[in-house]
Amino acid sequence: MKLLICCPLAVALLAVASADDAPPVALRTADGPIIALWQKAASPNKPYISQLYAPGDKPIPLLEDSPPDHFHHHGLMFAIGVDDTDFWAEKDIKNAGRQEVAEAAATPAGDGFTQTLRWLATDGMRLLDETRRVSVRATGKGAEAVNWLDWESIITPAAGRDAVRLFGSHYFGLGMRLLPAWANKAEFLFSNTTGQTMVRGDEKLTPGAWAAVRCEIDGHPVTVLMIDHPANSRAVKWFTMGKPFCYLSAALGLDSTPAQLKAGERWTLRYGLAIISGPADTARLNKLAGEWTNSNPIPPNEKPNPAKS
């Protein structure tokens, strides 16, 4: 028992496992440290990344899973609304949806996975299908070390549906809840602040190619950078709030501009996350974002989103 208490990764694994019978799966590079924990089974209504770690001799955990104030916040998760079903919230609402796992396979190297999800309405009706691919890698050494996570979601109307309506609150999309240590002291940075709007309280929406949040944790500076792919089907409006808790989301603007996805159509959403233990100013973040975008070129059958800024 003492060994478990002294091992942060073991404690994290046990804490997340208590939320679901299926324990999380560690994602790591070959012979490298754990970069993320994958909650493979829906817990309770969706699978997600339950933990991310900043690089270092002692990996620093970043994410909170199902906190008391918002039990439906799960680490790094992707959810929106479809037709009349809310896939973001989970309890105390009449129209909560569930992302059911149809297939899931980790890569042989253990550095990622592919997952097929069926988005089901409260009554079990199949609304949306998703193919989700996530991979991790590590680059650099020392102060230049970066832990990376690449996320891709391809969503289509479920078979037999002529169309689905995509909607959501101003924070719906790929979002992450940071641990309490980030609350009230984290700083947000953006590729630019043109078009930034206040929503309520400390909440902001900011268009742009990337957004980042940085904070000093136990005397160590840590920065998390999120990057929007230029060919994504919907441009990001970065949702940020620093108090009373810290949240960053690649929101899709579905509150102001809902979308209709017809049979045969699809949305492709790709994002890069870079986690840095050390100083990270705007110049370095711009450089990392550029490197990620260049290493993920626009496929020949896709075009840049004209709404990107």
pLDDT digits (tens, 9 = 90+) for 111-145: 999 999 999 999 999 999 999 999 999 999 888 99
Residue 198 CB neighbours (<10 A)? 9
Regarding predicted confidence, which is higher, 192 or 298?
A: 192
Question: Rounded to 5 degrees, what are φ and ψ at 283?
Answer: -60, -45
Give me 121's structure tokens.
């309405």
> What integer pLDDT is reported at residue 13 of this predicted model?
37
State both tokens at 162: 């002529």
pLDDT reading at 18 higher than 60:
no
φ, ψ (nearest 5 deg) of residue 122? -55, -35
Statement: residue 106 has pLDDT above 80: yes
* Per-residue pLDDT at 10: 38
Residues 150-156, mean pLDDT to the nearest whole number: 98
Residue at 260 is within a domain: yes
Residue type at 267? W
CB 146 within 8 A of CB 140: yes
Determine the average pLDDT of the residues in 245-274.
97
Q: What is the pLDDT at residue 152?
A: 97
> What percentage of the chain carries pLDDT values higher than 70?
91
pLDDT band per the 50, 70, 90 thresholds, residue 21: low
Q: Please report the pLDDT score of residue 159 as a whole number.
A: 95
Taking phi first (over 0 means left), then psi (-120 to 50 degrees means alpha), and beta for anything else, what does residue 289 get? alpha
CATH of the domain at 246: 2.70.98
Structure tokens at 31: 């012979």
Does 9 have pLDDT greater than 90?
no
Maximum alpha-carbon separation in the chain: 57
Task: Give me Rg for the CA atoms of the chain.
Answer: 18
Q: What is the DSSP string of 181-209?
A: GGTTT-EEEES--TT-EEEETTEEEEESS
The residue segments making up the domain with residue 129 are: 2-295
Cis geometry, peptide bond prior to residue 230 (ω within 30 degrees of 0): no
Residue 145 located in a structural domain:
yes
Residue 241 lies in a domain: yes
CA-to-CA distance for 244 and 32, rounded, in angstroms? Answer: 35
Please tell me the distance from the alpha carbon of residue 165 to that of residue 95, in angstroms, as a whole number.
15
Q: CB within 8 A of 217, min separation 6: which ones? A: 54, 60, 181, 182
CA distance 164 to 192: 33
Q: Are 274 and 146 in contact (CB under 8 A)?
A: yes
User: Cα separation of 85 and 275, whole Å?
Assistant: 33
Nearest alpha-carbon partner for 154 in 309, 299, 308: 299
Of the two residues 210 and 23, the one the predictor is more confident about is 210
Please indicate whether residue 36 or residue 278 has the higher confidence score (pLDDT).
36
Q: If DSSP codes are grouped into helix, strand and coil, which group holds residue 290?
A: helix
Interval 61-90 mean pLDDT: 94
CA 238 vs. chain centroid, Å, equals: 12
Q: What is the mean pLDDT of the chain?
A: 90
* Residue 286 confidence (pLDDT): 97
Q: Can you tell me the distance from the alpha carbon of 42 to that of 158, in angstroms, rounded to the nearest whole number?
A: 19
Q: Is residue 309 part of a domain?
A: no
Q: Is residue 125 part of a domain?
A: yes
Total tally of structural domains belonging to the chain: 1
CA atoms of 86 and 247, how far apart (whole Å) = 19
pLDDT(6) > 80? no
Distance in angstroms (rounded) separating the CA atoms of residues 35 and 255: 33
Q: In whole angstroms, what is the distance from residue 43 CA to residue 51 CA?
A: 14
pLDDT digits (tens, 9 = 90+) for 161-193: 999 999 999 999 999 999 999 999 999 999 999
Residues found in the chain: 309
What pLDDT does 308 receive? 46
Does the pTM exceed 0.85? Answer: yes
Assign 219 a pLDDT band (cuts: 50, 70, 90).
confident
In a domain, 44, yes or no: yes
